[in-house]
Amino acid sequence: MDAALPTHAAMLRGRIFGHVGLMTGIAILVVAFACAIFAPLLAPHDPYFQDLAARLVPPVWQPRGTWLHPLGTDNLGRDYLSRTIYGARVSLLIGFSVMLVSGLIGTTMGLAAGYFGGRTDMAVSFIVTARLAMPVVLVALAVVALVGGSLVVVIAVLGLLKWDRFAVVMRAATQQARAQDYVAAAKATGASTLRVLLGEVLPNILPQLVVVATLEMASAILLEAALSFLGLGVQPPLPSWGLMISEAKAYMFFSFWMIAIPGTALGLLVLAINLVGDGIRDVAAPEGRA
């Protein structure tokens, strides 16, 4: 009776490709991922190689700039383009790992609190409140002071601290989904609790989960940069954008590009992730809603 309608997949394709923000975000992300994965092939120089004879070379568009170092060199004569490309690795690695760790913790807690309610809900809400009372940077400071900073420590600290938004959003979404008839209908067809949770509730709150995940990933990348800037994150000589900004701050007035280049890269990556998150929400929103 509605055979003339385009198929489900065709409508979805149309919505995705028609979304400018989503496509822009995906395009930037693809470039960032390519940089991260193929860094050794793309980078013109070794990011750790110091050429003290060529210190503080400005980018190619400035006077004194040379095509040998398109984005110039830093105070130790390391090629800035190569370091920026390698920096994408650290940012994306941290963003993804933190999102996975915190997402797993937060989603589990939110699902349990929202679905079971009652005491479980009270317990989870208490843990979330307790967690929100702890400032992330201060905790990170304390942990780094105790065990020293490294990539793994940053991932662990952020992953174990940043699940709060996952828990809060997933709890609210689950409460909503739990009251739907299809949950009762699934129980009426003999589905177990775990099956109802993972098979019925989770797929329906997936759009919200994806949006939170992207926002948290972007915020984790920014936090890593902030921690590295403070000297609490990844340690030199690893090329991290936050660390590059930190090292450049002494030269800010004379070599502005040193702070602008990693800053732009960081801003673009975070923007792209947020665009993708928003885009997915827009594309998924009409889905399944009658």
Partner 1 sequence: MSAILTVEGLEVDLSVPAGTLHAVRDVSFEVARGETLCIVGESGCGKSMTALALMGLLPRNARRRARRLVFDGIDLAAASRTQTNDLRGSRMSMIFQEPMTALNPAYTIGNQLCGVYRRHKGGSAAAARERAAFLLGKVGIAAAGERLGQYPHQLSGGLRQRVMIAMALMCDPALIVADEPTTALDVTIQAQILKLLKDLQDEFGMALVLITHDLGVVARVADSVAVMYAGAIVERGTAAQVFAAPRHPYTAGLIDCIPVPGRTKPGERLGAIPGTVPALVGNITGCAFRSRCAHAQARCEDAPPQHAEGGHEWACIRGAA
State which residue, 75 or 204, has the beta carbon closest to partner 1. 204
Q: How far is the CB of 5 from partner 1 (least distance, A)?
A: 7
Distance CA 34, CA 208 (A): 27
Q: How far is the CB of 126 from partner 1 (least distance, A)?
A: 21
State which residue, 125 or 235, has the beta carbon closest to partner 1. 125
State which residue, 27 or 184, has the beta carbon closest to partner 1. 184
Residues forming the site for partner 1 (CB under 8 A): 1-3, 5, 8, 117-118, 180-182, 184-192, 199-200, 203-204, 206, 287-290
Q: How far is the CB of 215 from partner 1 (least distance, A)?
A: 22
Q: How far is the CB of 193 from partner 1 (least distance, A)?
A: 9
Comparing CA positions, the residue from 267, 233, 241, 273 lying closest to residue 84 is 241
State which residue, 3 or 53, has the beta carbon closest to partner 1. 3
State which residue, 146 or 181, has the beta carbon closest to partner 1. 181
Q: How far is the CB of 190 from partner 1 (least distance, A)?
A: 4
Identity at 53, one-letter amino acid code:
A
Distance CA 169, CA 111 (A): 10
Q: How far is the CB of 178 from partner 1 (least distance, A)?
A: 11
Q: How far is the CB of 181 from partner 1 (least distance, A)?
A: 4
State which residue, 63 or 118, has the beta carbon closest to partner 1. 118
Comparing CA positions, the residue from 215, 265, 267, 218 lying closest to residue 239 is 265
State which residue, 199 or 237, has the beta carbon closest to partner 1. 199
Q: How far is the CB of 4 from partner 1 (least distance, A)?
A: 12
State which residue, 112 or 248, has the beta carbon closest to partner 1. 112
Distance CA 84, CA 80 (A): 6
